[in-house]
Chains A and B, each alone.
Chain A
Amino acid sequence: MGGEGTLAQAAYDSGDLPACREHALRGLEDHPDDVGLLRLAGRASLELAEQDAETYLRRLLDLEPDDGAAWRDLGLSRLNGGDATGAREALERAVELLPDDDAARVNLAHVAFTTGDRGRAVQLLEDLAADAPQDLGALRSLLEMHRSSGDAQAALEVAEQLAARDQQDVLAAVEVADLQLGLEQYEAAVAAFARVRALDDEPGHAVFAYHGVIEAEARAGRWRQALDQAIEATTVDRHQLTTDLLTTAAAQLFGESEQRQPPPWDGLLQALAEERAEHRRLHQTPVSSLGRER
Chain B
Amino acid sequence: MTEKAAVSPPAVAPESQWTKCPACDAFVYGRRLDHNLKVCPECDHHFRVPVRERLAQLLDAESFENLATDLEPLDVLGFEDAKPYATRIAAAQDRTGGKEAALFGTAAIDGMPIVIAAMDFAFMGGSMGGVTGEIITQAIEHATATHTPLLIIAASGGARMQEGCVSLMQLAKTSQALARLHDSGVLSICLLTDPTYGGVTASFAVLGDVLIAEPNAMVGFAGPSVIEQTIRQRLPDGFQTAEFLRDHGMLDLVERRENLRNILRKLLRFHQGSAPTLPERGGGASPITDPSSLAQRPAWEVVELARDAGRPTTLEYAGYIFDDFLELQGDRLFAEDAAIVGGLARLGKQTLVAIGHQKGHNTSELVARNFGMPNPEGYRKALRLMEMAAKFRFPIITFIDTPGAYPGLGAEERGQAVAIARSMMEMSRLPVPIVCLVTGEGGSGGALALGVGDRVLMMENSYYSVISPEGCSTILFSNAAAAPRAAEALRVTAPDLLRLKVMDAVIPEPETGAHGDPVTTAANVKEAIIACLEELLPLDPDELLRRRYDRFRLFGQPDLQPALTAPERADG
Contacts and interface: CB of A to CB of B under 8 A. Distances in A.
Interface of A: 15-17, 47-49, 76, 79-82, 102-103, 106-107, 110, 113-114, 137, 141, 144, 148, 201, 203, 239-241, 243, 281, 284, 286-293
A47 B499 CA distance: 72
A291 B14 contact: yes
B26 interface: yes
A47 B16 contact: no
B-side interface size class: 20 to 34
A139 to B, nearest CB: 13
A289 B19 CA distance: 9
Closest 8 CB pairs of A and B: A240-B229, A239-B229, A290-B16, A201-B82, A292-B15, A289-B17, A49-B35, A79-B29
Nearest to A267: B234
Given A15-B12, A103-B15, A113 B31 contact: no
A106 B27 CA distance: 12
Given A82-B32, A201-B82, A239-B225, A76 B27 contact: no
B29 A107 contact: yes
A289 B13 CA distance: 10
Contacts of A113: 27
B22 A103 contact: no
Contacts of A141: 18, 27
B32 A80 contact: yes
B47 to A, nearest CB: 10
Nearest to A200: B82
Interface in B146-198: 161
Interface in B425-470: none
Contacts, number: 91
Contact of A292 (B12, B228, B230): B12
Nearest to B32: A80
B272 to A, nearest CB: 30
A109 B17 CA distance: 12
Interface of B: 11-20, 22, 25-27, 29-32, 34-35, 41, 81-83, 88, 161, 225-226, 228-230, 232
A243 B18 CA distance: 39
Contact of A287 (B11, B12, B18, B41): B18
Contacts of B230: 239-240
**Residue among B26, B228, B229 with most chain A CB within 10 A:** B229
Contacts of B29: 79-80, 107, 110
Nearest to B223: A239
Contacts of B35: 49, 80
A137 B82 CA distance: 29
B41 A144 contact: no
A241 B229 contact: yes
Contacts of A106: 16, 18
Given A17-B11, A203-B88, A286-B30, 15 more contacts: A15-B12, A16-B11, A47-B11, A49-B31, A103-B15, A103-B16, A107-B15, A203-B161, A239-B229, A239-B230, A281-B22, A287-B20, A288-B17, A289-B18, A289-B30
B11 A286 contact: no
A82 B41 contact: yes
Given A47-B12, A80-B35, A82-B41, A144 B229 contact: no
16 contacts: A16-B11, A47-B13, A49-B31, A49-B34, A49-B35, A79-B32, A80-B31, A103-B16, A106-B16, A137-B16, A144-B20, A203-B88, A241-B229, A286-B18, A289-B14, A290-B14
A143 B447 CA distance: 63
Contact of B31 (A76, A203, A287, A288): A76
A16 B8 CA distance: 13
A293 B19 contact: no
Given A49-B35, A80-B35, A288 B25 contact: no
B18 A239 contact: no
Nearest to B29: A79
Given A49-B35, A201-B83, A240-B229, A114 B13 contact: no
Contacts of B226: 239
Contacts of A137: 16
A114 B30 contact: no
Nearest to A294: B12
A244 to B, nearest CB: 9
B14 A240 contact: no
Nearest to B228: A240
Contacts of B31: 49, 76, 79-80
A61 B82 CA distance: 58
A79 B30 CA distance: 9
Nearest to B233: A240
Contacts of B32: 79-82
A157 B34 CA distance: 32
B330 to A, nearest CB: 29
B324 to A, nearest CB: 30
A110 B26 CA distance: 10
Nearest to B229: A240
Contacts of B81: 203
A114 B229 contact: no
A113 B230 CA distance: 43
Contacts of B225: 239, 241
A287 B27 contact: yes
A120 B26 CA distance: 17
A287 B16 contact: no
A76 B15 CA distance: 8
Nearest to A84: B29
B104 to A, nearest CB: 25
User: Which residue among B11, B20, B22 has the maximum number of chain A CB atoms within 10 Å of its CB?
Assistant: B20
Nearest to A111: B29
Nearest to B10: A15
A87 B89 CA distance: 43
A82 B225 CA distance: 37
Contacts of B88: 203
A134 to B, nearest CB: 15
Given A79-B32, A80-B32, A107-B29, A292 B11 contact: no
A81 B35 CA distance: 10
Nearest to A121: B27
A153 B228 CA distance: 34
Contact of B18 (A16, A110, A203, A292): A110
A281 B252 CA distance: 30
Contacts of A281: 22
A106 B30 CA distance: 12
Nearest to B225: A239
A29 to B, nearest CB: 24
A284 B25 CA distance: 13
Given A240-B232, A286-B30, A107 B16 contact: yes
Nearest to B82: A201
Contacts of B20: 144, 284, 287
A116 to B, nearest CB: 12
Contacts of A203: 81-82, 88, 161
Q: Point out which of A82, A102, A137, A144 has the most chain B C-beta atoms below 10 A from its C-beta.
A: A82
A291 B16 contact: yes
Contacts of B14: 289-292
A15 B11 contact: yes
Given A80-B35, A241-B229, A286 B19 contact: yes
A221 B229 CA distance: 26
Nearest to A76: B15
Of B18, B20, B32, B228, chain A has the most CB atoms within 10 Å of the CB of B18
Query: Max chain A CB contacts within 10 Å: which of B16, B32, B229?
Result: B16
Contacts of B12: 15, 17, 47, 292
Contacts of A103: 15-16
